[in-house]
Every structure is written in C-alpha cells, then in structure tokens.
Amino acid sequence: MSPVVFHYAAVLFASLIALVPTQTLQSLGLSIGLLGAGGAIYSIFIVVRLFRDDVPDLADHLGYGALPLAAYAAVLVAAWLLTHGAQSSVYVVAGSFLLLLMVNIRNAWDLTLAFIKRQSEVRASAAQAGASQPPSP
C-alpha cells in the first residue's frame, strides 16, 4: 500500500509545485529534481524488496518496481532540462508523471483485487470451519 500512497503524493506534490506563480525554471528544476531523487531511492528499495521477497509476478515487478523507477529517472532528466532552460523539459515532466500516475492506477487496482481475494478466502475458510464443527447443544 505504501508505494501507491507515495507515488500519488509525489504526483500531487509535483503538480502543486508547478502551480506556484513565483516559480523560476531553476527553482522548479531543483524541486522536481529533489522529488525525483527521493522517488528513485524509494523505488530502488521497492525493487530490492520485490526480489528479496521472491515475488514471481512479472506485472508486479514492472508495476511496483521498474516502471516507477523509470518514471523517477525521467523526472531527474526533466529537472536537469528545466534548470538548463530546455523547451522540451515540460514534455518530459508531463510524460514522466503521467507514466507514474498510470502505473499507480494499475497498482491501486491490483491491490484492490488482492484485498477482495484475500477477504473472500477468509470468509470461505470461516464458513468451512463453521460447517465442519458439530452443532452446539
């Protein structure tokens, strides 16, 4: 659950930073760069945890690990472009955060389905346990 909250907060924070009216390209680049560096470090921890926990699902490796890391790497590139005044920087910023948002929507849906599956398994095992017990006198 934490990666989903973290990435949504990152997108929201970047959106709010961009709305500051007195923002310069350098200050925006610095702010976005710090956000990208923090996100990349966090994503590396998630990738390590995915491999350590031996998660077999390729979609989870991509959705929780590789794609967010790629998005934050693109944010770092965008921050560098912003500080150097490149006109293409806004497209890189938009694309990287759009990728992060889309991957995070997938991750939130994946978690929702996992919670539903787990809850139905708990209910089924409770119903089975209740059915196997003799009726009380």
Q: Looking at residue 63, what is its pLDDT?
A: 83
Q: Please, are residues 92 and 77 in contact by the beta-carbon 8 Å criterion?
A: yes
Tokens of 36: 């990208």
Domain positions in the chain: 2-112
Q: Looking at residue 133, what is its pLDDT?
A: 61
Q: Which residues of the chain have pLDDT under 50?
A: none
Q: Which residues contact 13 (CB under 8 A, 6 or more apart)?
A: 35
Torsion angle of C-alpha atoms 75, 39, 26, 95, degrees rounded to 10: 20
* DSSP state string for 41-68: HHHHHHHHHHHHTT---HHHIIIIIIHH
Q: Looking at residue 37, what is its pLDDT?
A: 96
Q: Looking at residue 56, what is its pLDDT?
A: 73
Closest residue by Cα to residue 67 from 87, 47, 83: 47
Q: Looking at residue 121, what is its pLDDT?
A: 81
Q: Looking at residue 51, what is its pLDDT?
A: 83
Alpha carbon distance 80, 14 (integer Å): 15
Q: Which residues contact 44 (CB under 8 A, 6 or more apart)?
A: 69
Closest residue by Cα to residue 92 from 110, 109, 72: 72
Q: Looking at residue 124, what is its pLDDT?
A: 78
pTM for the full model?
A: 0.81
Length of the chain: 137
